[in-house]
Amino acid sequence: MTLPSKPLVEALLAMVQGAVPVTCPIYWAQAAASPGQTYAVFYPDTGTLSAFHRDLLNRGPDELRYQVTSVGQSPEQAAWVADRVAEALLSAVPTVAGRRVWPAIEEGSQPVRRDDESTGLFFATAQYLTRSDLP
């Protein structure tokens, strides 16, 4: 049975929000109608049990994967947001009551590019994994 993903996602969002200026909002799955010049959007899955990190009783930690899309009016702004988000996620571990949380791992990323199909803004994406289990 997997642990609820919502408390971990909320803790990750709060950790990143605390690490970036208030002028760079961090959203869950959807940006505001007028998000500003720089922002990031978290797209988390609902979590799964690890298929690889199992003990002798076949128990394993939950794995929460999420993509972060970092957005800016210029390539430099999008890269700046991506750097701030990565620094926040990879340099600290969020606290979730009743749960042991492992450090995040960056699993992949895409280069900064322009969104010519909709907004014309620049964006970069990165994919992360955060594991957690019961203490």
Q: Give the CA angle between residues 25, 102, 51 to the nearest 5°.
A: 110
> Does the pLDDT of residue 39 top 80, yes or no?
yes
pLDDT above 70 coverage of the chain, percent: 92
pLDDT of residue 106: 98
Q: Which residue has the higher pLDDT, 25 or 118?
A: 25
**Separation in Å, CA 47 to CA 5, 63, 64, 116:** 6, 5, 4, 32
